[in-house]
Structure 1
Amino acid sequence: MPPYAQSVSTFWKDRLAPGPRAAALPPVQQLLGNLSVPFDLARTKAQAAMLADGMRGDGRSILLIPGLLASEQRMGWLRDILAAAGYDAHDWGMGRNFGPKPDSLDRIDRCVDAIREKSGGPVTLVGWSLGGLYAREYAKFACAKVGGVVTMGTPFSGDPRANHAWRLYQLVSGFPVDRPPFPCTREEKPPVPTVALWSRRDGVILPECARGRAGERDRAIEVDCTHMGFAAAPEGIAAVGKALEAIRS
């Protein structure tokens, strides 16, 4: 083949070669399952006292960090049940989560310091979805202040696009999903006890990305709920109680 023909052949071969394999996504049927959240909330309201009685709160300070576009109100039932169980549960105090900002970890640090001024001890972070990524990265930034991290359906492992939320994340936050505006090593385990809650029927996050691999978290607990159910369904809230006990032991 003449040199020119070879160069043309190489030109088209490079452009027609398949690109990176598209990330696997949860089935659409499971994504639609998240529409059950009103029924999950109704069940949690009916079972709130039983859920609190089933936990062994020890007075530890807990900071709840909501997921993308969620607010403190969305974490309300979880907060109130943890408080009724004997935990010192706190909202993050930053309103709705519109995605990471350059000062997000600094703002969490100020919140943790305010809690520690009253409690005097480390704070356990419980983060739902994107909030769990904040929790993990903050625990690397200030591990001496953190007693442990619980993530709920948080995509800290694998492909950051293996979910149905990454385009919304980029639209809302203005940052690429693989380049947040603060130092982030998603798969690196924080130097504190960590428990990952995950669900086969999450529907938003690919289960293996929320479960993580050995070395990326200390323990993984499977939960029978949808992604929205982690902070709304009785099964999700009870699992947080189990995770907190696992960190304590």
Structure 2
Amino acid sequence: MSRPIDRRLLAATEPLRAAASAGAFAAALPVLAFAPRGDRHPVLVLPGLGATDLSTGTLRRWLRSLGYPVVGWELGRNRGPTQEVVDELPRLLARLHAQHGSPVSIVGQSLGGIYARRLALRAPAQVRQVITLGSPFAASRPEPGSPAARVFERYRPLHSTRRLSTSRTPLRRALPMPSTSIYSRWDGVVPWRACLQETGPTSENIAVRASHLGMGLDPAVLWVVADRLAQPADAWRPFRRPTRLGLGVLFPDD
């Protein structure tokens, strides 16, 4: 196990490291062209706290290039669990499920991943799998004093007293459908341990080297998302670190 990295340094370098991920994405495009492809089932992508669909634009465009019908949440800026979010996200999921006649895979970044897991508990028949990117669903509340906590508190007066799901199941527990949590020990926004779920036959945690803000652009993250979406609905298997095309170097050893 490598030595822990100073959280203050990680937070301070988040923008720079996110920009580096954008450059790495552009450089890795020829290799990413070989990413796994699956059946063309619907995919819903949810942004993180304080972000809009613009933040997931690269990820969604790339997934469309792989053949998936992909949509963003179309609810503007993510200000936390407002009444609009609580009301509209279940309706959006239900519409996608009905429109395509297929359960929907949900990819959520940061707070968007927490929404994704709650939606999965609320309507399991409508969700094929859940993939989260740097989502601190295992924490009971935002880390006090952290950048995420400050933003969350700023929006708290807008939050609904209702939840997306009334299930009392802790979000760190394995979901009733396949679930993948992508996390990074180099995350400068949320504690990486808060992104770990209980592992099981269809639940896993996958480490990458990405920054929090750069997860939607990081080549390793994009490869994992493609690999997970390509899993057959009735034959899901845990992720195996790729060895071809030199992709193994994108993933940490521990």
Query: What TM-score does the superposition give when structure 2 sets the normalisation length?
Result: 0.78
CA displacement, residues 105-148 of structure 1 (integer Å, 9 cap, x when unaligned) = 43112212222233110001100000001000011111111101
Query: What is the 5 A alignment of 1:96-107?
Result: 96-107=77-88
Deviation (angstroms), 1:180: 6.3
Partner of 2:245: none
Out of 16, 22, 27, the position equivalent to 2:7 is: 27
SS at match of 1:150: strand
Partner of 2:244: none
Structure 1: gaps spanning 5 or more residues: 1-24
Verify: 1:239 aligned to 2:220, yes or no.
Answer: no
Deviation (angstroms), 1:103: 4.3
Shift in alpha-carbon separation, 1:180–1:152, aligned structure 2, 3 A: farther
Structure 2: gaps spanning 5 or more residues: 237-254
Q: Is the 8 A contact 2:60 2:70 kept in 1?
A: yes
Partner of 1:11: none
Verify: 1:115 aligned to 2:100, yes or no.
Answer: no
CA displacement, residues 205-239 of structure 1 (integer Å, 9 cap, x when unaligned) = 11111123346x81111111011121122222222
SS at match of 1:117: helix
| Larger Rg, first or second structure (1 or 2) | 1
Out of 183, 204, 216, the position equivalent to 1:198 is: 183
Q: Please provide the CA RMSD for this pair.
A: 2.5
Shift in alpha-carbon separation, 1:103–1:26, aligned structure 2, 3 A: farther
Q: Is the 8 A contact 2:173 2:197 kept in 1?
A: no
Once residues 213 and 232 of structure 2 are traced to their aligned partners in structure 1, the CA distance between those partners, rounded to angstroms, is 23
- Number of aligned pairs? 222
Once residues 71 and 95 of structure 2 are traced to their aligned partners in structure 1, the CA distance between those partners, rounded to angstroms, is 11
Once residues 197 and 179 of structure 2 are traced to their aligned partners in structure 1, the CA distance between those partners, rounded to angstroms, is 11
Shift in alpha-carbon separation, 1:125–1:26, aligned structure 2, 3 A: farther
Partner of 1:173: 156
Shift in alpha-carbon separation, 1:198–1:38, aligned structure 2, 3 A: same
Q: Is the 8 A contact 2:93 2:126 kept in 1?
A: yes
